[in-house]
Amino acid sequence: MRDVVTAYVGIGANLGDAMAAVQRAIDDLGTLPQTSLAVRSSLYRSAPVDASGPDYVNAVAAIETRLTAPDVLAQLQALEQRAGRERPWRHAPRTLDLDLLLYGVARIESATLTVPHPRWQERAFVLVPMSEIAPGLVGAAALGAVTSQVIARIP
């Protein structure tokens, strides 16, 4: 049996009932095969980065999983599909976006998956919720570099 790996998932939505979609996705992460939800951040509202459209609702969750990184990615994409995710163009608004940010200490570069996520340290909508649940993974310099990006915790 494979060892348990802690993986971090970025969660976002800005179409339809985005808050409900993000909450449901967090719940669904805990139902993936050989996986449990370890911890989740608060919800945050953020402006789109490199895109237009309504504000996003974002969160980050840590999962404990025995799935391989490609299998986690496949499960995340299946959750996106069930939520009606379409990909008409890069950075298009979306009903649900799930990104595999980190998979233990693995470094993976394949045609379908790059881990760590190539831009996770450039996005306030990842760094701020990540710092809430895993402060040791987010440095002050990284947080300082994204202060111009609009993000607010949803009460």
Indicate whether 91 pLDDT > 70: no
Number of domains in the chain: 1
Residue span of the structural domain in which 10 resides? 5-153
The residue that leads in pLDDT, 119 or 62, is 62
The pTM is what?
0.94
CATH number of the structural domain spanning residue 82: 3.30.70.560
Distances (CA, A) of 40 to 56, 99, 108, 146: 17, 14, 24, 21
* Residue numbers annotated as active site: 85, 94, 97, 99
Q: What is the spatial distance between Cα 128 and Cα 134, in angstroms, rounded to a whole number?
A: 10
Q: Considering only 20-24, 46-50, 76-80, 101-105, which range has the smallest mean pLDDT?
A: 46-50
Amino acid at 19: M
The 8-class DSSP code of residue 61 comes to E
